[in-house]
Amino acid sequence: MGTAKKIMQQKEIHQKVTPTESEVKIKLKKIAAIVAAGMAFAAVNVANVAHAANPLFPKIFTADPAAFVEDGVAYLYVGRDEATPKDKDYVMKEWRMYSSCDMQNWTDRGVPLKPSAFKWAIGKVDAWAADIVKRDGKYYFYSTVDHATIPGRAIGVAVSDEPEGPFIDVRGSALITNDMTKESPIFWDDIDPGVFIDDDGQAYLYWGNTVLKYAKLKKNMMELDGPIVTVGMDRFTEAPYLHKRNGIYYLSYSREYPEETAYMTGPSPTGPWTYRGVIMSKNKVVKTIHHAFIEFNGKSYIVYHNDKLPGGGEFRRSVAVEEFTYNADGTIPYIKQTKEGPKANPSPACSR
Ligand code: FUB
């Protein structure tokens, strides 16, 4: 090859691999942005990350987990138990939110709302069980609070554009009040909302204590779309949770008192239901066990609460998580509570 041709080829190669000054600047800017984002993410994690085993949050007492997964991130909402060892009732002033990219490490994302978000509620220490669902870009948080003027517990719904909140009570009144249901004389029979949106877009609200009830929700997620229906059940206590997998509908709930977690399956969101058994055994000290299910990065998990945090008790509970595998026929196996919790399952899609 002649010298002139060689020089030409080298020039071409040089031009191909050597970026211009402005290309270098753009690249450096991009790298700086990535490093900054990484550092910010690390800072959040260093400051707020909880450890990896059960119970998940070793510094505070937590209960009644609700969860969902979006963009490879698991979001967990809990009520904070602030009762002292002497208290004889729940003291729950706020719901707290956490997120995880691997189901082991949980970042504290603060307080998305307090009972005071519901102006019609007494709203001080009754951040009881909640559930959260996303529809058309908005997050709907359903929760149980004490009604200020209609005696008894009530269910409200608050809306947000972000999982972290702020959640606003757009409706401005309770969705369910104690006077709307007459099957049980107790004032806390309208608690523990569990919300499910089916593939055809129809949303359902399940709830109840001692008597299980459900109603359809309108597309706006803030109004009932039909009558309240009662489901006759054996030893139902509370915490109904509806989910669907491979065409099977699962209605799980807390059964008996002290509670164990049991479930039924059916061909539709309203049954008919077939009882399938107990998934998780009763806790030793605390009588409740409230749970939720999620699918995260190809694996299945149950979140629940127990009494395993030192100093724990009836009103000082602690949220935990276990991984499990559905049986080949779609049934849920018995799930043992563990101290270790699940193995790390880092989600490549995690953006938080
Ligand atoms: O946290 C208060 C109540 O205890 C919840 O609403 C029930 O599910 C039970 O966990």
Whether 64 is catalytic is: yes
Work out the pLDDT band at 124, boundaries 50, 70, 90: confident
61-351: in CATH 2.115.10.20: yes
**CB within 8 A of 204, min separation 6: which ones?**
195, 196, 197, 198, 214, 215, 216, 217, 242, 269, 270
**CB within 8 A of 155, min separation 6: which ones?**
142, 143, 144, 174, 175, 176, 190, 191, 193, 205, 207
Ligand 1 center from residue 128 Cα (angstroms): 6
Whose alpha carbon is nearest atom 4 of ligand 1? 288
Pick from 226, 183, 182: nearest CA to 203: 226
Residue pair 209/184 in contact by the 8 Å Cβ criterion? yes
Q: What pLDDT does 9 receive?
A: 45
Q: Centre a 10 Å sphere on the Cβ of residue 221 and count the other Cβ atoms it contains.
A: 23
Whose alpha carbon is nearest atom 3 of ligand 1? 128
Ligand 1 pocket, mutate which of 191, 257, 304, 306 (most atoms under 8 A from CB): 191
Q: Centre a 10 Å sphere on the Cβ of residue 216 and count the other Cβ atoms it contains.
A: 17
Pick the atom of ligand 1 nearest to 63's CA: 1
Angle (CA) 342 345 347, round 5°: 145
> pLDDT per residue over 13-70, tens digit each?
333 334 445 544 444 444 344 333 333 333 344 446 655 699 999 999 999 999 999 9
Is the beta carbon of 238 within 6 A of some atom in ligand 1?
A: yes
User: Domain ranges in the chain?
Assistant: 3-41, 61-351
> pLDDT per residue over 197-226, tens digit each?
999 999 999 999 999 999 999 999 999 999
> pLDDT per residue over 63-122, tens digit each?
999 999 999 999 999 999 999 999 999 999 999 999 999 999 999 999 999 999 999 999
